[in-house]
Amino acid sequence: MRSSSKISNVILWSVISAAFIGPGTITTAITAGSLFQIELLWVVVFATLACIFLQEVSARITIASGLTFGQTLTRKYGDDKSAWIKWMVALPVLLGCAAYEAGNILGAVSGIALLIPGDGQMYTLIITVIAGFVLWRGGSRAISLIMTTLVGIMGIAFLILAFQTRFSFSELFFAAVVPKLPQGSEWIALALLGTTIVPYNIFIGSAISKGHTIPLMRIGLTISVIIGGLITCWIMIAGSLTNGFSSFEELAASLHGKLGNVGSWALGIGLFAAGFSSAITSPYAASLIASTVLGSKDNRMVRGVWMLILFTGFIFGFSGVKPIPVILAVQALNGFVLPLLAYFLILLVNDKQVIPSANHHGLAYNLILILIFGVTLLIGLNNVDKAITTGFQLSTNHFEIVLIVTVFALAHLGFHLWKIKRL
């Protein structure tokens, strides 16, 4: 395999890391670092590995079957049943794209305003117009090249901030491999999962993998996601320099007080690069969901979908809504969608009616996928329980019930997987 092909493939797959490292990642990772230092670093490591596995499964299904995600659902479940499954999967992800776009444009505006103070509404208009121009021109490789450049700029900016901390290598290593959930960290942990294993990325990966080989896909995907995971770790480590924040201006002031101009400038550059790159990928992902999941073949309708997503972000930019609460809520919401997508991916990739047996995973790989499904479901259900307990002022939580429901769901998935393997 030629090195030029590998490099081109990595650039193509860089859209994945660019998509999940947006203002949401910056907000969530810095919040985690400011509240819990590096104790949740293991969540980023787990989420990065889980992202690689789920993205690989999604791309493998497309490459091996030659079908889109929606077409594989139709092949497995038939026209009638697959129709509501497609909407059940696509609708929350499309809503997530719209909510993400709001945070993306707001984040990009916040980043450029830290560098060049000015009219936020004018910046919103400029960013929206440029993003719209890139999307209108289209072309996955052109978009990926832009994303690669922005991710590189963002990575350098946050690496500079991370180097200002005083953690030893051993401290970072143990925080990265030893699971620990400090009191009150469950919601942030779920948000970290949601901001790394972005549901719409699964559909982007499926779409751009068509026509590739599985080995070449694995190289580009793995390198891209690992780079994204490293940048997320650097952001969390940098967040440990702060004591919490409610706005990016406050965060910039905090970093400026501790690091001088390098702190505020690095944050501004990183935030702008993250926001602008994701402002392109969210509408792009929505258009892919419309075509590859819902099966729309009308180019005008597909183009209308990404326009609607982009316009949603534009409206939020003009509204003056503070981005921090919006971004955190979206990250957590996406964490709830993950188990649903993981469930269908595991069943599809093991079904002989969908892809040939030669392209199926082994037992160990399936066990890892089931573990990912179980962990994301457990954290998601536990947070639902905590929200209900807090909202209705109940005296205790119900972790035992959450655990039982998770075990039942795992048994249900395992049973269906066993049935598929027997056929």
Tens-place pLDDT, residues 312-361 = 888 877 776 665 565 556 555 655 677 888 888 898 888 888 888 888 88
CB 267 within 8 A of CB 248: yes
What ranges do the domains of the chain cover?
Answer: 3-339
Residue 170 burial by Cβ neighbours in a 10 Å radius (0-12, 13-18, 19+):
exposed
Q: How far apart are the C-alpha atoms of 412 and 160, rounded to whole Å?
A: 47
Q: What is the pLDDT of residue 312?
A: 85
Specify the 3-state DSSP secondary structure of 11: helix
| CA dihedral sign, ordered 225, 227, 233, 238 | negative
The amino acid occupying position 418 is: W
DSSP 350: T
In the chain, how many H helices and how many E strands? Answer: 16, 0
List the CATH code of the domain at 3-339: 1.20.1740.10
Q: What is the pLDDT of residue 293?
A: 83
DSSP 116: S
Q: How much helix, strand and coil, in percent to the nearest 5, is found in the chain?
A: 85, 0, 15
Q: What is the pLDDT of residue 40?
A: 93
Q: How far is CA 29 from the centre of its chain?
A: 13
- Mean pLDDT of successive 10-residue segments in the chain (423 residues)? 60 73 83 90 92 89 86 85 84 79 84 84 89 78 70 80 83 90 82 79 80 82 88 88 74 76 81 84 86 80 88 80 59 68 88 83 87 83 67 66 88 86 68
CA-based nearest residue to 14, from 224, 262, 164: 224
| CA dihedral sign, ordered 382, 86, 53, 51 | negative
Query: Who contacts 247 (Cβ-Cβ below 8 Å, separation ≥6)?
Result: 322, 324
Query: Who contacts 155 (Cβ-Cβ below 8 Å, separation ≥6)?
Result: 227, 230, 231, 234
Q: What is the pLDDT of residue 395?
A: 63
Residue 420, phi-psi category: left (phi > 0), alpha (psi -120 to 50), beta (remainder): alpha
Tell me what percent of the residues of the chain surpass a pLDDT of 90. 6
The H or E element that residue 169 is part of is helix 169-177
CA-based nearest residue to 323, from 6, 11, 3, 22: 22
Global pTM value: 0.80
Q: What is the pLDDT of residue 173?
A: 92
CB 337 within 8 A of CB 92: yes
CA-CA distances (angstroms) from residue 262 to 27, 160, 249, 252, 266? 19, 8, 15, 10, 6
CA-based nearest residue to 369, from 335, 404, 338: 338
Q: How far apart are the C-alpha atoms of 350 and 193, rounded to whole Å?
A: 24
Q: Tokens at residue 44, please? A: 């980023």
Q: How far apart are the C-alpha atoms of 113 and 123, rounded to whole Å?
A: 8
CB 327 within 8 A of CB 149: no
Q: How far apart are the C-alpha atoms of 330 and 27, rounded to whole Å?
A: 11
| CA dihedral sign, ordered 123, 127, 130, 133 | negative
Query: Who contacts 271 (Cβ-Cβ below 8 Å, separation ≥6)?
Result: 23, 26, 107, 108, 110, 111, 114, 248
Q: What is the pLDDT of residue 408?
A: 92
Q: Which residue has the tokens 């980023």?
A: 44
| CA neighbours closer than 13 Å in the CB half-sphere of residue 114 | 28
- As a whole number of Å, the end-to-end CA separation of the chain is 37
Q: What is the pLDDT of residue 44?
A: 93
